[in-house]
Amino acid sequence: MPPDRRTFIKSLSAAGAALGLTGVPAATLGASPSARPVPKRIDRAPTPLNILILGGTGFTGPEQVEYALARGHRVTLFNRNKTRPDFFKGKVHEELVGDLNGDTSALEGKKFDVVLDNPTTLPAWVRNAAKYLAGNVKHYIFISTTSTYSDQSIIGLDENSPVHAMPDGLDPYTLDPAHATQYYGPLKVRAEQEVAKLYPGMHTIIRPCLIVGPLDRTDRFTYWPARIDAGGEVLAPDKPDDPCQFIDSRDLAEWMVRMAEAREFGLYNAIGPDKPLTVAEMLYGVKAITTAGAQFTWVPWEFLKEQGVRPWRHMTVWQPPYGATAGYQRRNASKALAKGLTFRPLAVTAKDTLDWHRTRTAKEQAATLNGEINGLAMTREAEVLAAWHATQKKGS
């Protein structure tokens, strides 16, 4: 039997940070939509489209919906109506209820100009939707992930770089969900292949890196605005000039809608920003939108490793820029840039994320500073910093 979708995503979300997986579906994580910035005035598209969004109420989805509506498109949603039930009721053309892992019959008889597939990880979900969509859509856009790449040591990974294969003997359609998280990259590759097979010549596959911004409860970026806003001495990873890449969910969502309007097909890395960014630039950029006066102490990776501080999980956004992860934060997005992918300033992403974080419950805000999801608990951070200072004092 195919894995239960709810069980699979729950385990995937929990394990994604520990495994260093980019693009883990955030649509299941739920978050209050309050305090999201009011969108600026948006020009209407030259030709309105009939758009189906799979998901649409989680993290990137709401941004797609609002941008598409502002551009004058007709939007239909298909989801389980469990993450923010009826969130867009009265705003979108139709809300179809179903489950990509099971009953997709609500799609029967429907025709669309374009489909935006946000939540799919298992290839069975692509196939289940295609029971009714194949032959009834003109363009299928699939959000994949840069975790599809099998060798993250390659600096400048592009769309032609090698990708994961499913291990021999493992059937992605019968894989036990308890073991599925470790095959996230291979599963996304297989899902991409399903899309290409079912929608030949009319598909777009987008591989984003770390997706950040308001509504993201993974804390893989939110940790930094929250921690820096708390002030004091902040542990910073390794070297200030280490590379750093991520994309604001709104930049990704808006570009996907524009790609639909232009009927652009193919495979693209969706990675930001457009110019190289260092960890120091990211951290000081976040600090600039606060008044807390945080101070950074840069601690070498070898010492952090000895202290059990893990990249991506505790030092979020960051991966060691050498060895097996040398290319993790130095991937190539030139193909997407040539197709109009744009990025809002870091200050906007940081401020909007912090403003949203402040609307979360006290328990959720505390969990961020306690490192319960991602990030380093402030108590543990203080211990590591004390140990580092003791080492420095001893060596002087």
Q: What is the structure's pLDDT at 181?
A: 80
Give the CA distances from residue 364 to residues 174, 306, 356, 372, in Å, rounded to whole numbers and listed in that order: 35, 29, 12, 9
Task: Kindly report the pTM of this predicted structure.
Answer: 0.89
Q: What is the structure's pLDDT at 37?
A: 56
pLDDT block averages, 10 residues each, the chain of length 396: 43 36 33 50 92 93 96 96 83 94 95 96 94 98 97 97 93 77 92 97 98 94 98 98 98 98 98 96 98 96 98 98 97 98 97 97 97 98 98 84
CA Rg, the chain, in Å?
21
Distance of CA 1 to the CA centre of its chain: 28
**Structural domains of the chain ordered from first start:** 5-395 (3.40.50.720)
Hey, is 161 helix, strand or coil? coil
Tokens of 175: 């894989």
Q: What is the structure's pLDDT at 34?
A: 43
Q: What is the structure's pLDDT at 31?
A: 39
Give the CA distances from residue 102 to residues 6, 62, 167, 364, in Å, rounded to whole numbers and listed in that order: 11, 23, 25, 32
